[in-house]
Amino acid sequence: MYDLIRQTYEDHPYQGAVALEAGFRHDAAAHFPFAAAIPFYLRDRRVPTAPLDILDVGCGAGVTTLLLAEANPGACLVAMDLSARSVQQTVARLQTQGYTVAGHVLALEDLPQLGRQFDYINCHEVLYLLPDPGLGLQILAQALKPGGILRANLHSTHARAPMYRAQTLMALLGWMETAPTPTAYAAIRDWMVALRDDLPFKQAVWRPERAHDPDYFNNNFLFHGDKGFTVPQLFDFLNPSGLHFLGMVDRRGWDLSDWLTSPFPDRIAEFLANATPMAQLHAHDLIVGNHRLLDFWASPVPKGNAPEPEAWSEERWAHASATLNPILRVAPLAALLQKNLVTYEPLTLHSFLPQTTAATEQLGWLPQLCLRQLWSEHLPVSTLMAQVAAGLPPGSALPMAVLRQQALLPLVRRLAVFLECPGSPQTVY
C-alpha cells in the first residue's frame, strides 16, 4: 500500500499545484491551525518566548511547512515525507520564500531515525493512511519534548462516508489496483457526467469545477489507504500514546449548540452542560457530520485548570498582561481598524478568526480600540485599560470591571488576545 501512496505523491506531490512564489503572510485564518502559540496558550495560559523546534510530518510540496514558517517566526523547521519529490519541492518552496528547512525522505514509522524531539509537530492528512493510527500517535508522542504539542487529524467516518462509497466503486471498477493514471481520471469523469444531477451520491462527491484537477482525484476517488474514524476511536488512540486531548483546532465549528433551536429542552441543556468533551464532539459528528477532518491538538501535558478570566479576582487582574494573537498582525486588519476607529463601524472578525468567531458576530468600537493599542506591544492589562479609557468621549467613563467586560473579554474569548498572569501554570519547553 505504501508503494502506491508513495508513487501517487511522486507523480503529484500534495498541494504541488500551489506556485512556489505563493505566500500566506496576510492570511490569519490560514495560519491559525499552524500557529503553535495558540495551543500553548490554551494549555498553559502563556505562550513560549523562545524560537521553537517544529517538525512537519507529511510535508507534501511544502505548503504546510511554509504556513508553519510564517505562523511561527524564527522557528527551526524540519520537514519529512515518504516522497522524495515532495521533499525537494518543500525545500525549494521555503528557499523561494526566504526560509530554511531541513528536509528528510522518511515515512512516519521511520521518525525515530531523526534522533531528536520537537516543541511542536504538525501531522496533517497523514494519520488516517497508517495501518495503525494509534501506533503512529505513539511514535509522534515519543518525538515530542516533555512540554511539546502535536497537531494531527483523522478522517471522519461519518462526514466522509459518501467518498468511501466512491472509493469502493473505483475498486469495483478496477481503478484502485495501481497508482492513479489519466485514464482513471477520465473514467471517473465519464461516470460522474453520466449520473443524474439530482442523485444524492453525485451531489455529495462530485465537484465539476475540479474535473481536471489530479489532486482532487488522487485525494478522494483514488486515495489509497484512506480510512475514516469516529471521535471515540480518536480518544482510544490517544490514551495509550500518553497524549492528552487539548481541543479541536476548529473549536467554533464543533459547537453543537449552534445547530439547536433555543430555548433547549432540559434534557438537552443538561447534556450540553455535563457531557464530556468526547461525548459532545461525538454527538456533533453523528448529528451534523460536516467536518471531514477530526483535527485536534494533543500533548503529554494536560490542559491546566486555571480559572477563566471572567472569574479572576481584582488582584489577579492587577498582575495580568495582554498580547495580540500574533497571527492577527496583518495588513488587512490594520487597515480595517484604522478606518473603523474613525467611522465607528463594527468589525467582523470571522474572516480573520473563523475557528473562534461566528460569521454574524461583530466587534464594536471599544474592542477594536483595544486591538489597536496592542498592535505594537505587550501591555499590562491596567495600562491597556487606561489607554482605552482615555479614548472614551468626555463624560462616558466606565468602571474598570465594566470596561474589561466590554473591551477586552470579547477578544479573549475569541483568542484575538492572549491574557497571561504570573500565577498561570508554567511549562518547561
Give me the helices (H) in 242-320, please.
266-274, 277-287, 314-318
Q: Give exposure, 112-139, as e/b (b: 16+ Cβ within 10 Å).
A: eeeeeebbbbbbbbbbbbbeebbebbbb
Q: Is the pLDDT of residue 160 over 60?
A: yes
pLDDT > 70 in the chain, percent: 98
- Distance CA(344)–CA(350), nearest Å, equals 18
- Distance CA(151)–CA(146), nearest Å, equals 15
pLDDT digits (tens, 9 = 90+) for 67-91: 999 999 999 999 999 999 999 999 9
Question: Quick one: which of 389, 391, 390, 410 has its CA closest to 400?
Answer: 389
- Distance CA(53)–CA(78), nearest Å, equals 8
Looking at residue 137, its amino acid is L
What's residue 305's pLDDT? 83
**Crossing angle, helix 365-373 and helix 381-390, to 10 degrees?**
130
Average pLDDT over residues 417-424: 82
Grid coordinates of 24: 500566506
- Distance CA(140)–CA(118), nearest Å, equals 10
Looking at residue 309, its amino acid is P
What's residue 398's pLDDT? 85
Q: Return the domain boundaries, the chain.
A: 2-158+230-250+291-299, 161-221, 309-420
Contact 85, 13 (CB under 8 A): yes
What's residue 254's pLDDT? 97
pLDDT level of residue 347 (50, 70, 90 thresholds): very high
pLDDT level of residue 116 (50, 70, 90 thresholds): very high
The CA angle 261-264-268, to the nearest 5 degrees, is 115
What's residue 426's pLDDT? 46
Q: Is the pLDDT of residue 110 over 70?
A: yes
Contact 79, 90 (CB under 8 A): yes
pLDDT level of residue 130 (50, 70, 90 thresholds): very high
Torsion of CA 385, 399, 44, 378, to 10 degrees: 0
The CA angle 290-296-298, to the nearest 5 degrees, is 160
Average pLDDT over residues 170-182: 96
168, with CB counted inside 10 A (0-12, 13-18, 19+), is exposed
Q: Is the pLDDT of residue 429 over 90?
A: no
DSSP 8-state code for residue 206: -
294, with CB counted inside 10 A (0-12, 13-18, 19+), is buried
Q: Is the pLDDT of residue 113 over 50?
A: yes
Can you list the positions of beta strands (E) in 238-326? 244-248, 293-299, 321-324
- Distance CA(239)–CA(235), nearest Å, equals 6
- In this predicted structure, which of 148-162, 212-226, 286-300, 301-315 has the lowest mean pLDDT? 301-315
- Distance CA(253)–CA(285), nearest Å, equals 11
The CA angle 50-55-58, to the nearest 5 degrees, is 160
Q: Is the pLDDT of residue 422 over 80?
A: no
- Distance CA(63)–CA(43), nearest Å, equals 27
Q: Phi and psi at residue 297, in whole multiples of 5°?
A: -110, 145
CB atoms within 10 A of CB 223: 23
- Please give the class, per CATH, of domain 2-158+230-250+291-299: alpha beta
What is the pTM assigned to this prediction? 0.94
Grid coordinates of 302: 494536560
pLDDT level of residue 199 (50, 70, 90 thresholds): very high
Q: Quote the mean pLDDT of the chain.
A: 94
pLDDT level of residue 423 (50, 70, 90 thresholds): low
Average pLDDT over residues 230-256: 96
Looking at residue 276, its amino acid is T
pLDDT digits (tens, 9 = 90+) for 307-335: 889 889 999 999 999 999 999 999 999 99
